[in-house]
A and B are shown apart, each in its own frame.
Chain A
Amino acid sequence: MSDAAQIQAIVKDFVLAEFLEGEDPSELKDDTELVTTGILDSLATLKLVTYIEEQFEVEIDADEADETHLNTLADIVRLIQSKR
């Protein structure tokens, strides 16, 4: 598995378990909008950022915890990769 695919899988599992309990995993696609559909609100975003920081040992700046950087799984993977 490539680095990106591995990151994607870990983040996807977390989002499904924390915020989309019971969802069919195939519904959560790479480009599913998370922030602009309300799947991630500000508290959920905070949780996700904390998880990413611990899991991947990266630091997310406060001004990156937003719609531009975290709206889709693809965005999140890009953000994490840019830190490593």
Chain B
Amino acid sequence: MTSVADDLHGYLEAAARATPDAIAVEEAGDAKRSYRELDQLSDRVRDRLVATGVRPGDRVGLCLPKSIDTLAILYGILKCGAAYVPTDATAPMARAGLILADCGVRAAFVETSLHDELARHMHEQGGDAPLFRIDTPGGGLGLERTLGELDGASPAPVVPTHRAAPDDLAYILYTSGSTGRPKGVMLSHANATHFVEWCSDLLEPTPADRFSSHAPFHFDLSILDLYTPARHGACVVIVPEDVGKEPGPLAELIARKALTIWYSAPSILGLLARQGELDRRDYASLRFVLFAGEVFPVVQLRSLKALWQGPRYVNLYGPTETNVCTAHEIPETVPEDRTTPYPIGRVCHHLEGRIVDPAGTPVARGEEGELCIAGPNVMQGYWNLPERTAAGFLVTEDGRRWYRTGDIVTEDDDGVLTYVGRRDRMIKKRGYRIELGEIESCLYTHPEVVEAATVAIEDDEGNLRVRAHLATKDGGRLSLIALKRFCAERLPLYMVPDLFRFHASLPKTSTDKVDYQALLREPD
């Protein structure tokens, strides 16, 4: 397939030239924008950012709810030649402030209600970039008001769009870091466009397709959601974050918006099957149901397939550092007696995989080893962390860089990979990537806590739960409510431990390290 553009914003411009009146983006209500309108609105963002001093190679941050406004800002940032850095507007502002200061953004867009707190946290971390406030983002109108006010004070001259080189950064996505600080995964235009081309081969989209945008923009799932439709002049429908968590309203939205391609973590699909009353509405337009981010329990997958019989189902796998790197299509019938999860599938055709032992030597076919990935999807590195970056790669004698996923897999005779487990202490819960060490770092900041360890356990239905084990100063218990509130003020909600246990002191191994195996063996 020949591509229509060499950089991500080129997709938008090509669609705006070819089909200017086609709808590029819709929100949950009636708000929508055509390709021409989205292109023009993002031009205005570009002009304003350049007038503010943003130059190619800079970073520009965002702390906004998902909306047409936010999408136009992403494209505006790319058109300057800068990389965008999206942060979670629903998580504590301390985290967003730390991220935006860490990568030294030149400017950032923030929802007005979050402005003061974000500014305070950025200053505490040494960040001093100008923040553009957007009142109630939605429909592109909040952004237009902000741009209008700025233009009224001093118009931004029209400047040309910057054409990105393949290795120029397009975005930095921060993921949970084991030391308690999130780390920034740097991804280039070539990383993203090669991925979008692969999605195009899988999905064969047409301008009539209507993609879901369920994942937040600071998640790598959003790359498929936002840029694959632009590549084909199709439409993306932005699912608001609150609706995205509630099976009832979400089921209604998927039917009303006649979505054709759905992509999300499995957990919400499981909830839709159980609670979405999917038999009450018409979902005939759905062509694909894609899921990624964690294992889809077979029981839930089977009940979803019974309710939505039309679409093809594909399990996608890949860490943020590579985006999707393997895929497995679920067969038409899921046998009644099957309980083992489906494989993660074959390595995507434009990438190469290799399965290695701890020394980096390839293992024999069928044996367990760590999956390493090479090819054009693989990240440039972690922002400002050269040692972490070096440790993340295996470099072979021919000089190729292989990203070490940390995931242990096996390969069958047909090249199909099955996920076995993790090499380290990272888990995936409801599609969110969590370093258990980051939760422990937070618990250690509690004035009463002297020892903290977290483990991940499965409940009866295969759902992952995080259990925290604590030892306190006076050896007693703490209020669970107060502890949960303490964590919720410092961590995103999905990282707040589900369960707490109190110990006089934590069990230790012979080398005096916390004995995680003993903690895991504790009954529920």
Contacts and interface: CB of A to CB of B under 8 A. Distances in A.
B364 interface: no
A62 B277 contact: yes
Interface of A is mostly: loop
A27 B481 contact: yes
A32 interface: yes
Interface in B480-506: 480-482, 484-485, 487-488, 493-494, 496, 498-499, 502
B481 A46 contact: no
Nearest to B491: A38
B289 interface: no
A54 to B, nearest CB: 16
Contacts of A36: 488, 493
Contacts of B493: 36, 38, 41
- For chain B, which range describes its interface: under 10, 10 to 19, 20 to 34, or 35 or more residues? 20 to 34
Contacts of A39: 480-481, 484
A61 interface: yes
Nearest to A36: B488
A-side interface size class: 20 to 34
B481 A65 contact: no
B271 A63 contact: no
A1 interface: no
A3 interface: no
Contacts of A41: 493-494, 498
Interface string A43-84: 100100000000000000111011100000000000000000
A24 B59 CA distance: 48
Contacts of B502: 22
A11 interface: no
Nearest to B245: A42
Interface string B237-271: 00000100111110100000000000000010001
Given A38-B496, A46-B275, A66-B246, A22 B481 contact: no
B206 interface: no
B276 interface: yes
Residue of A22, A28, A36, A38 most packed against chain B (CB within 10 A):
A38
Contact of B248 (A22, A23, A32, A62): A62
B436 to A, nearest CB: 16
B463 A43 contact: yes
Interface in A6-42: 20-24, 27-28, 32-33, 36-39, 41-42
Nearest to B461: A43
A36 B276 CA distance: 23
Interface of B: 242, 245-249, 251, 267, 271, 274-277, 430, 463, 477, 479-482, 484-485, 487-488, 493-494, 496, 498-499, 502
Given A22-B477, A28-B481, A37-B488, 6 more contacts: A23-B479, A33-B485, A43-B463, A62-B251, A65-B246, A66-B246
